[in-house]
Amino acid sequence: MVEKTKGVVSKLPVNQILSAIIEDGLELNASFIHLEPINNLIRIKYRVDGSLINGPEISKKRLNSLSDKIKNLANIQTGYIDLISGGKFKYSHKDQEFSIRIYIMPTIDGEKITLRVQSNMPVVTTLKELGFWGNGLDVINQAINLNSGLILVTGPSDSGKSKTIASLLESIIDHSISIATLEDPVEYKISRATQTQINHRTNLSFKNGIKILLKQDNDIIMLSELANSESIVEALDIVGHKKLVVSSLNVESSVEAITKLLDYGISPSSLAYGLRIVINQRLVRRLCPNCKQYITPDKTSLHKINQLFDLDNATSMKYVHSQEVEYYQSISTDEKHNHKSLSTSENKLKKIWINNPSGCSDCHHTGFMGRIAVVEILKNSPEIERLIMTKSKDILINRQAVKEGMINYLVDGLIKVLIGETTIDEIISLTKSNYLT
């Protein structure tokens, strides 16, 4: 499964073992590499697209020398490490430079070492490539070209919010617009913006940064995250200065963003008039285009899908079919060739895409390649403004948003299963803490 470390890794000198482990991780595009000492072995595991892949097992006799080597690379005195902040070192692979941060936890079986891998030049892609399409994409494009207002990108941790914000700012067509950011930390290089890292040591807080940016006559201000009520008040204050603000919030749904801000004590009128759109998203694994399979689901799976999305109801079925048609029409002719045909008719679901369980060499035999966002986009409207002003329940705001065209993120996920981007199991895994309306 894992190329370089297969087989003989335990016999190699420690330098080579470590390079093999790291290079396998980089080839797999892993975000974390775990070295877990359990009994007599060190188990290597790679976090790839949100899931763990098992690597080789190495004799635990090599743990101390591996640990010393890693600490050495990070310039940490052997035998001592700041457990909380860890250390880091740079690693070059195929002309690309990576930053590898180390976290070490002493366990009863020895040190458990986790390496967090970050590319020094993460790629910003288009919103379409991230998973936005159709009417939702049009709504975003209109909002980002407005003169003022608040655009929120929301979702749980590790849902790709920063990448969406970076792509959003890159997508602005008008080059005469001045864009500035205040970030903690800066994660992506945005060619359209002047970016600033928050630095508490030099008193460059969000609050002070905003004061300067307002004086500097910027059109769009991006704040990396609204972490507390104070920052939200500041963001809405910038909107009051006729600026467009783009920021993120850690919540589970678009509607929850609204209710959470109201719970923070934000004035309903400033939110109702300031808010333009709320994007909510989370990431699912993307099917490997080379080995994905197009199948007729068996009775049990079909029943499960019909039940989850209420597809035995003619109106729901027709709605899902119309969304699949819209997605199909939004993709290019080249992409259409890969999608064979529509997976639904007006009255039934016929086929779905699944991962090939044994995968292929392109996807390291996982059946998946990268991740795609499952999204919902709530657009503010006179009726939603009214619901915000009266502090209505989230379910009422959600119902109104769906009535006005918002596609629930789980339905968006189902469309992505029908069109061949992900699997139904990936979407079902998102339902555990959520509800459909």
How far lies 383's CA from each of 380, 405, 407, 409, 437, in Å? 8, 13, 17, 21, 18
Task: Report in angstroms how near the CB of residue 218 gets to Zn ion at its nearest.
Answer: 45
How far lies 270's CA from each of 128, 321, 384, in Å? 31, 38, 13
Q: 315 CB contacts (<8 Å, ≥6 apart)?
A: none
Task: Report in angstroms how near the CB of residue 43 gets to Zn ion at its nearest.
Answer: 25
Task: Report in angstroms how near the CB of residue 364 gets to Zn ion at its nearest.
Answer: 8
Task: Report in angstroms how near the CB of residue 422 gets to Zn ion at its nearest.
Answer: 14
Task: Report in angstroms how near the CB of residue 28 gets to Zn ion at its nearest.
Answer: 13
Residue 198 identity: I
Task: Report in angstroms how near the CB of residue 359 gets to Zn ion at its nearest.
Answer: 5
Closest CA to 172 of 220, 236, 114: 220
Exactly one of 359, 378, 407, 424 binds Zn ion (CB under 5 A); that residue is 359
Task: Report in angstroms how near the CB of residue 428 gets to Zn ion at its nearest.
Answer: 22
Q: Residue 233: exposed, middle, or buried by beta-carbon count in 10 A (0-12, 13-18, 19+)?
A: middle
Q: In this chain, which stretch among 161-169, 304-312, 355-363, 394-402 interacts with Zn ion, using CB under 5 A?
A: 355-363
Q: Is the Cβ of residue 312 or residue 335 nearer to Zn ion in the bound state?
A: 335
Q: Is the Cβ of residue 240 or residue 289 nearer to Zn ion in the bound state?
A: 289
Task: Report in angstroms how near the CB of residue 132 gets to Zn ion at its nearest.
Answer: 25
Phi then psi dihedrals of residue 352, to 5 deg:
-140, 165
Q: Is the Cβ of residue 51 or residue 142 nearer to Zn ion in the bound state?
A: 51
Q: Is the Cβ of residue 122 or residue 289 nearer to Zn ion in the bound state?
A: 289
Using the rule CB under 5 A, is 420 a contact of Zn ion? no
Residue 333 corresponds to which tokens in the numbers above?
């002719």
Q: Is the Cβ of residue 180 or residue 291 nearer to Zn ion in the bound state?
A: 291
Q: Is the Cβ of residue 129 or residue 362 nearer to Zn ion in the bound state?
A: 362
Q: In whole angstroms, what is the distance from residue 45 CA to residue 32 CA?
A: 8
The mark string for 361-400 relative to Zn ion (x by CB under 5 A, - otherwise) is -xx-------------------------------------
Exactly one of 12, 360, 389, 428 binds Zn ion (CB under 5 A); that residue is 360
Residue 364 corresponds to which tokens in the numbers above?
């390291």
Q: Is the Cβ of residue 148 or residue 356 nearer to Zn ion in the bound state?
A: 356
How far lies 229's CA from each of 47, 152, 233, 261, 293, in Å? 34, 15, 6, 8, 47
The mark string for 263-302 relative to Zn ion (x by CB under 5 A, - otherwise) is -------------------------x-xx-----------
Q: In whole angstroms, what is the distance from residue 32 CA to residue 152 CA?
A: 28
Q: Residue 200: exposed, middle, or buried by beta-carbon count in 10 A (0-12, 13-18, 19+)?
A: exposed
Q: Is the Cβ of residue 300 or residue 358 nearer to Zn ion in the bound state?
A: 358
Which residues sit opposite 134 in a β-bridge?
A: none
Q: In whole angstroms, what is the distance from residue 397 CA to residue 384 CA?
A: 6
Residues that contact Zn ion, how many (by CB under 5 A):
7
Q: Which residues bind Zn ion (CB under 5 A)?
A: 288, 290-291, 359-360, 362-363
